[in-house]
């Protein structure tokens, strides 16, 4: 029998890193992965970052996010921009390309679901 896994709002600063492709600021980020399923398809935890802007592409997994604290702005390479505040939930689909901007220091719950062979169909 498998048990329920509680995802706690805890940041793991010892695993801090600097995002790649920084365009503005000097941000650091931190991941506290608290669950990975036995097939390595689903992972979940808390991710945080300090203010800054960097380019990124969502590859390999669809990501569900729930913003706990802070303000972020995601801007697609086509110019479409979305700003998220505490309490907002959103999906970053495979194939998204653009910038991540942390406007105010933020924390989010995340759940990444790897979707095999989807990237080649986008």
Q: What would the pLDDT profile of 5-53 be if each residue is shown by its tens digit? A: 999 999 988 889 999 999 999 999 999 999 999 999 999 999 999 999 9
In a domain, 24, yes or no: yes
- 3-state DSSP call for residue 108? strand
Domain holding 37: CATH number? 2.60.120.10
Contact indicator for 91, 64 with CB cutoff of 8 Å: yes
8 found inside a domain: no
CA–CA distance, 90 with 93 (Å, rounded to integer): 10
- Note whether residue 103 is domain-resident: yes
Q: Are residues 75 and 83 in contact, defined by beta-carbon separation less than 8 angstroms?
A: no
pTM metric for this prediction: 0.90
How far is 95 from 90, CA to CA, in rounded Å?
15
Question: How many structural domains compose the chain?
Answer: 1
Q: Point out which residues pair with 92 in neighbouring strands.
A: 63
Q: Decide: residue 11, CB within 10 A, 0-12 exposed, 13-18 middle, 19+ buried.
A: middle
49-91 pLDDT, tens digit per residue, is: 999 999 999 999 999 999 999 999 999 999 999 999 999 999 9
């Amino acid at each position: 029998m498998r048990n329920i896994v509680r995802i706690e709002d805890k940041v793991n600063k010892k695993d801090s890193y600097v995002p790649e492709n920084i365009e503005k600021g000097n941000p650091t980020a931190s991941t506290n992965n608290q669950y990975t399923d036995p097939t390595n398809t689903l992972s979940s935890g808390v991710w945080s970052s300090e203010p800054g802007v960097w380019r990124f592409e969502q590859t390999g997994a669809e990501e569900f996010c729930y913003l706990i604290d802070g303000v972020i702005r995601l801007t697609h390479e086509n110019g479409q921009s979305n700003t998220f505040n505490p309490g907002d939930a959103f999906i970053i689909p495979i194939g998204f390309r653009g910038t991540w901007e942390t406007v105010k220091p933020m924390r989010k719950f995340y759940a990444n679901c790897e979707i095999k062979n989807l990237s080649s169909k986008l």
